[in-house]
Amino acid sequence: MKYLLQRIAFYLFTAWAAITLNFFIPRMVPGDPVQALITKYQGQLSTQAIDSLYVLFGLDKDKGLWQEYLDYWGQLFHGDLGLSFTFFPTPVSEIISSSLPWTLLLVGITTIISFFLGTGLGVLAGWRRGSWADGLLPVTTFLSSVPYFWLGIIAIYLLTGPGSFFPSSGGFDNGLVPAFDQYFIPSALRHSVLPALTILISSVSGWILSMRNMMVTVSSEDYITVAHAKGLTDRRVAMSYAARNALLPNVSGFALSLGFIVGGTLLVEIVFSYPGIGFQLFQALGAQDYPLMQGIFLIITISVLVANLIADVAYLLLDPRTRKEG
Amino acid sequence: MSDPVLEIRNLNVEYGLGDQAVRAVRDVNLTLHRGEVLGLAGESGSGKSTLAYGMTRLLAPPGVITGGQVLYHPEQGEAYDVLGLSDRELRGFRWAETAIVFQGAMNSLNPVHKISTQLTDVLKAHRPDMSESARHARAREMLKLVGIAADRMDAYPHQLSGGMRQRVMIGMALILQPQVVIMDEPTTALDVVMQRQILGQLIELRERLGFSVIFITHDLSLLVEFSNRIAIMYGGRIVEEAPAAAIYRDALHPYSKGLLGSFPALRGPRRELTGIPGSPPDLKGMPSGCSFHPRCPKAFEPCSGNIPVLGRPGTPDGPSRSVACWLHPTEQPVG
């Protein structure tokens, strides 16, 4: 328990450091958002409009950096991440909350499927070493070296086009309004098939390989021989002794990959123009939309930290050796 | 001598297949009698552990049994060949008839499961009709038997000392009351005090429960003290087999003498420790004839030509022992 509290304290500190950096870095960039907007509207803004923009962005008062920093924290606790430039005057939090579910559903579900599928196949390949399952290995090694955005481009090139079942871009058909009805959901599913398969194919092999190798390592441990000598069924030895122990590194890898759900598959979303958070970040970069970038970075940072914490907790639950007494 | 419980006949074990195969156990004949402690000694690589894994069919690939029989005599009923059992029969045979305490005291327990889980899953597999509480009661009883407090049931292996872990393993080995317990260097990872304590306890348990023990070690001094009979292995063969006292007093094979000369006696006059010159043979390129002859101080003419057979020597206590050496030619091979 003490260990867990220590970890939580550590992650809180890391979060503080990340948020502080997140605050200072954009402020070190020359220019301010109003200048950027003036450039965007190519000087077609009146003086009054410029003044009111300064008020809107909270840049009118000549506050010190320290005061701004405190205000930033205050805003964060109210869920206020500022206003986006590109979608001005939509608040950043609104943009994020509309694009985050897309990413979470697409990448989240594929990551989970990929983990369970890959780990299961890895257990099989590791336990049945020397059988047909070994044939899986060269294929997975090849697939794990293929970048998924390239796989996505190939998929778009080969499988989409006029008359094809698979749409080449977007998260749903134009003209539909996001809602849980019989028109929107099938359309959203149809749009998610290709990006999901792309991620799945390129990520599942990593799980297979690592799980298979751990299974092979664990299989030569003494307690596996003891388990066989005890006359336990092959299944029981494979699951409760070999796979149970081989799983440990994969589980922490899985928890970490949960953290990369939000930021890790940017390129797939770009390739498929999928309305997720990665695509949003890409657009924000192009438009120099600092508040939006800042907000997305914040979300990514927090999700990575939370994933790390989950990894720690998972390890505590699965491996008694990491539990310290007291 | 009492009835045999386990008879090994012409057992051959090889690692690898075809021309590349290494013969680790060669034509071994060995009989374990009911209630006795049979010691199996030899240098590293002499095939003693391979023999143990071979007769229980636990060889990891690429180990294969290429010939022979392992006859097991159950308490009631006909003897059967362990090597001929189906997978299902073999699972039933393992642990219930022959349990093993392995070399690695530290790594024989699965680190992520509690002691209780690892003790009770044997019962779950072999006595499916036993109730949960009965299984736990039996596990606690076994821990008590080996001198571990019952509250250690919920401990994980890393919370126990090496000696305790090995005692848990011994308790686990006896949980189904097997006829045969094979101990493969059970105390190598432990200090000398703990070694004696655990072995003493084991011998006491054997007298109480009446199982037979095959005790494998390279430490001949331990064997002399704890076993009834000793078999010495060299290069995959048994080169001498005799009652423990006979081996200690007058070993016939020069190799056995060499092993005995490698450790100090506790009492008696001081003598120089000699050891055995040279190193164990390469199993891939065994010397011709007696595999020990290149290192043997007494090697003479026939040694490099022909392999001596294990047989009764012409000494007065000949009928109770056997040796494979040209110094003690025999007309009466064993097995």
**Domains in chain A, start-ordered, CATH in brackets?**
2-77 (no CATH), 95-322 (1.10.3720.10)
What is the ipTM, given to two decimal places?
A: 0.85
Q: Any chain B CB within 8 A of the CB of A128?
A: no
Average pLDDT over residues B247-260: 88
Task: Write the residue in A225, A231, A245 that is nearest to B95 by C-beta.
Answer: A231
Strands B4-15 and B180-184: unpaired
Residues of B with CB below 8 A from A130's CB?
A: 61
Chain segment A37-57, per-residue pLDDT in tens: 777 777 677 888 888 877 776
Q: Please provide the DSSP assignment of B37-104 as one string.
A: EEEEE--TTSSHHHHHHHHTT-PPTTEEEEEEEEEE--SSS--EEGGG--HHHHHHHBTTTEEEE-S-
> Which residue in B has a C-alpha nearest to residue A233's C-alpha?
B91
Chain segment B225-244, per-residue pLDDT in tens: 889 999 999 988 999 999 99
Residue pair A142/A189 in contact (Cβ under 8 Å)? The answer is: no
Nearest Cα of chain A lies from the Cα of B94 at a distance, in angstroms, of 5
Cα A117 from chain centre: 19
| CA pair distance B235, B127, nearest whole angstrom | 40
Of the options 1.10.645.10, 3.40.50.300, 3.30.70.100, 2.60.40.10, the CATH number for the domain spanning B4-97+178-323? 3.40.50.300
Which residues make Cβ contacts (< 8 Å) with residue B232, sequence separation at least 6?
Answer: B41, B42, B238, B239, B240, B241, B247, B251, B253, B255, B256, B259
Q: Please provide the DSSP assignment of A259-306 as one string.
A: HHHHHTTHHHHHHTT--SHHHHHHHHHHTT-HHHHHHHHHHHHHHHHH
| CA pair distance A100, A116, nearest whole angstrom | 23
Token pair for A75: 């805003």
| CA pair distance B229, B244, nearest whole angstrom | 5
- From B39, B8, B32, select the one nearest B180 (Cα to Cα): B32
Query: Is B95 within 8 Å of A229 when comparing Cβ atoms?
Result: yes
| CA pair distance B239, B245, nearest whole angstrom | 17
pLDDT of A13 strictly over 90: yes
> Which residue in A has a C-alpha nearest to residue B121's C-alpha?
A232
Domain-by-domain residue ranges, chain B? 4-97+178-323
Q: What is this structure's pTM?
A: 0.80
Chain segment A168-224, per-residue pLDDT in tens: 777 777 777 777 777 788 888 888 888 888 888 888 888 998 999 999 999 888 899
Q: Please provide the DSSP assignment of B215-226 as one string.
A: EEES-HHHHHHH
Token pair for A105: 């559903």
Nearest Cα of chain A lies from the Cα of B162 at a distance, in angstroms, of 15
Task: Write the residue in B100, B108, B158 that is nearest to A223 by C-beta.
Answer: B108
> Which residue in B has a C-alpha nearest to residue A241's C-alpha?
B110
**CA A241, A245, A249 angle in degrees (round to 5)?**
160
